[in-house]
Structure 1
């Protein structure tokens, strides 16, 4: 992690590192434009602040209960389906949601895979073919799927890293989906959410392991 810039001390919310980099261009353009064309400068300032707000990174308090699976992202449950002997739960992240992804369960990262693909809307049934990053933790797998506008997936873990339930494991820019392929011992009756429900990353329990 890099040291936060001075502006971080006055913002009412923390921001992921990549948010500062993305906001830098409109912020510099605003500084140059404000004296010459104030309306344009104000618009660029608002854009920079909007980018920072989109990349906000609030703290979360994971539940203490053992054996629970927490949501990997903020948003709405958009996918629940069986895949072989496993269940997949997908969370659609709208543009207004926090886009920091968190580990649904403790584990050790075995592999981080990037797969290029299409960029259909993340709520579309065909979005499984979109560009995605898979974080394989052995008994479960987290897949961050790009949407039509989200082209930047930023995992923050590497193979061999140990992660705890609710720990930050990456973020994605500008709308997408995060799916967790649950451990094989989790069955449909163990789920605690349904499609259409709102969840919070690292806090909402989506399943309980038997």
Structure 2
């Protein structure tokens, strides 16, 4: 009886919790209400802001690769910002259109599935600020990207795998009219969401901040 209470029951509870997260929790689809505000870019996903970096002439602040190779989009020698949002296991796994416009430059690149370091993974689980830009997997792992041509300029969203295959279920097509807050994809295994903002848009979030896809204002037109 003591063995049942000390070992078997906790093991069954843990297995049940893991099964619930994998089979039920990650498939939830909450109703989202996007702000009716002009000149803003919404967060494409739930999660925590991992980094906010300036981009000067196509180069990311304190980072070597050009941004065009990181986000898989034809961005050359452009200024702007790169924001990373980490979608964690317990976050909603849908992504959302960040702004209204026309979908362009869809690209799915196969790549490695290099797991992030255990220390960084623990930080994510504990909801601590974790900068994943320096992780080699951010540049080398599988990714799916698309660009929305909008009144604010081109907004590029890139979804990068973290510890397992990305396996994106996508709802966008080349030439499609995007509407801010509409679903863009479902990522069963989560991932790192990269958002490139043009120079006309100023970031409205900071590292460690919790964001909600389709609701949180990620960037706003500069005055």
Same fold flag (TM > 0.5): yes
1:198 is displaced (CA, Å) by: 0.5
Say if 1:87 and 1:45 are closer, same or farther in 2 by CA, change over 3 A: closer
Q: Provide the C-alpha distance between the structure 1 equivalents of 2:213 and 2:17, rounded to a whole number of angstroms.
A: 29
Q: Is the 8 A contact 2:81 2:203 kept in 1?
A: no
Residue 174 (1) aligns with residue 146 (2): no
Matches within 5 A, 1:112-151: 112-121=106-115, 123=132, 125=134, 126=136, 127-138=138-149, 139-151=154-166
Aligned length, in residue pairs: 168
Q: Is the 8 A contact 1:67 1:208 kept in 2?
A: yes
1:184 is displaced (CA, Å) by: 3.2
1:58 is displaced (CA, Å) by: 1.0
In structure 2, the residue matched to 1:4 is none
Residue 77 (1) aligns with residue 58 (2): no
Aligned partner (choices 151, 154, 159) of residue 169 of structure 2: 154
Aligned partner (choices 11, 23, 42) of residue 51 of structure 1: 23
1:81 is displaced (CA, Å) by: 1.2
Q: Is the 8 A contact 1:93 1:176 kept in 2?
A: yes
Q: Provide the C-alpha distance between the structure 1 equivalents of 2:42 and 2:104, rounded to a whole number of angstroms.
A: 20
1:46 is displaced (CA, Å) by: 7.2
TM-score, structure 1 normalization: 0.72
Q: Provide the C-alpha distance between the structure 1 equivalents of 2:20 and 2:216, rounded to a whole number of angstroms.
A: 31
Tell me the SS of whatever aligns to 1:182.
strand
Q: 5+ unaligned residues in a row in structure 2: which ranges?
A: 1-10, 59-78, 117-131
* Superposition CA RMSD, Å: 2.4
Q: 5+ unaligned residues in a row in structure 1: which ranges?
A: 1-38
In structure 2, the residue matched to 1:33 is none
In structure 2, the residue matched to 1:13 is none
Q: Is the 8 A contact 1:72 1:179 kept in 2?
A: no
Tell me the SS of whatever aligns to 1:110.
strand
1:45 is displaced (CA, Å) by: 10
In structure 1, the residue matched to 2:89 is 95
- Greater RCO, 1 or 2 (C-alpha within 8 Å, sep 6+): 2
Q: Is the 8 A contact 1:100 1:171 kept in 2?
A: yes
Q: Provide the C-alpha distance between the structure 2 equivalents of 1:89 and 1:61, rounded to a whole number of angstroms.
A: 22
Q: Is the 8 A contact 1:111 1:158 kept in 2?
A: no
Tell me the SS of whatever aligns to 1:47.
helix
Aligned partner (choices 37, 44, 53) of residue 65 of structure 1: 37
